[in-house]
Amino acid sequence: MDAPEQPQLYLITPPEIELSRFPDQLGAVLDAAEIACVRLALSSHDEDTLCRTADALREVTIARDVALVIERHILLVERLGLDGVHLTDGPRSVRKARKELGQDAIVGAFCGASRHDGMTAGESGADYISFGPVGDTPLGDGTVAERDLFEWWSAMIEVSVVAEGALDVELVATLAPVTDFFGIGDELWLADDPVATLKSLTAPIA
């Protein structure tokens, strides 16, 4: 994913998806805003569930020419005709994923708030590095990826960067000058109206 002039939007699915409802919901959001990529981020390790969900979402994303990557499961990318993988273990699996999937696949790596892990993942062949959470959340260990990390990264490193986790309007406004993508997930799917929520959340960059 090439670094855009203005931050682009990157959607992260809920950890559990109701197939009777979610594809339509996702389609409505993709129709309402320009989305660069969707990450299938299921908590399930059940192969059948992952495959059925990926098939359903691929129909939605292909129709709108949006990239679809899967979290963690490198071996399912080619089998399911997906665009790439999002790794959650920092730089550890980046080389393996790149070797397995080739140069054309998207390989992204979540690196928490670690500048060192981000640089290592970038050197190992990641297309983008994701840092987060950028906002306060009771999840995780309380570490927050601060603005100065993104500021340093955007000044020094060519690899695209994603800001994700506990975003709000204020954080979007603050981070917009120093990030390439905003990774948006629960902020949308826990809301009654994901489309309206996305519009208000991203108002600073509209």
> What is the fold, at CATH topology level, of the domain defined by 8-205?
TIM Barrel (3.20.20)
Token pair in block for residue 131: 């840092």
Residues 6+ apart with CB under 8 A from 136: 144, 166
Q: Looking at the DSSP assignment, which residues form a beta bridge with residue 109?
A: 87, 129
What is the pLDDT tens value at each position of the chain, 206 positions in all?
554 579 999 999 999 999 999 999 999 999 999 999 999 999 999 999 999 999 999 999 999 999 999 999 999 999 999 999 999 999 999 999 999 999 999 999 999 999 999 999 999 999 999 999 999 988 788 899 999 999 999 999 999 999 999 999 999 999 999 999 999 999 999 999 999 999 999 999 98
**What string of DSSP letters covers 13-26?**
--SS--TTTHHHHH
Quote the CA–CA distance of 63 and 137 in Å, as a whole number: 34
pLDDT of residue 141: 86
> How far from 28 is each of 6, 45, 71, 100, CA to CA, in Å?
23, 27, 22, 33
> How far from 2 is each of 28, 47, 106, 175, CA to CA, in Å?
25, 31, 11, 18
Quote the pTM value. Answer: 0.96
> How far from 25 is each of 9, 21, 90, 188, CA to CA, in Å?
16, 7, 30, 10
Nearest to 22 by CA among 62, 66, 53, 63: 53
Residue 63 DSSP SS3: helix
pLDDT of residue 2: 56
pLDDT of residue 206: 84
Quote the CA–CA distance of 9 and 89 in Å, as a whole number: 22
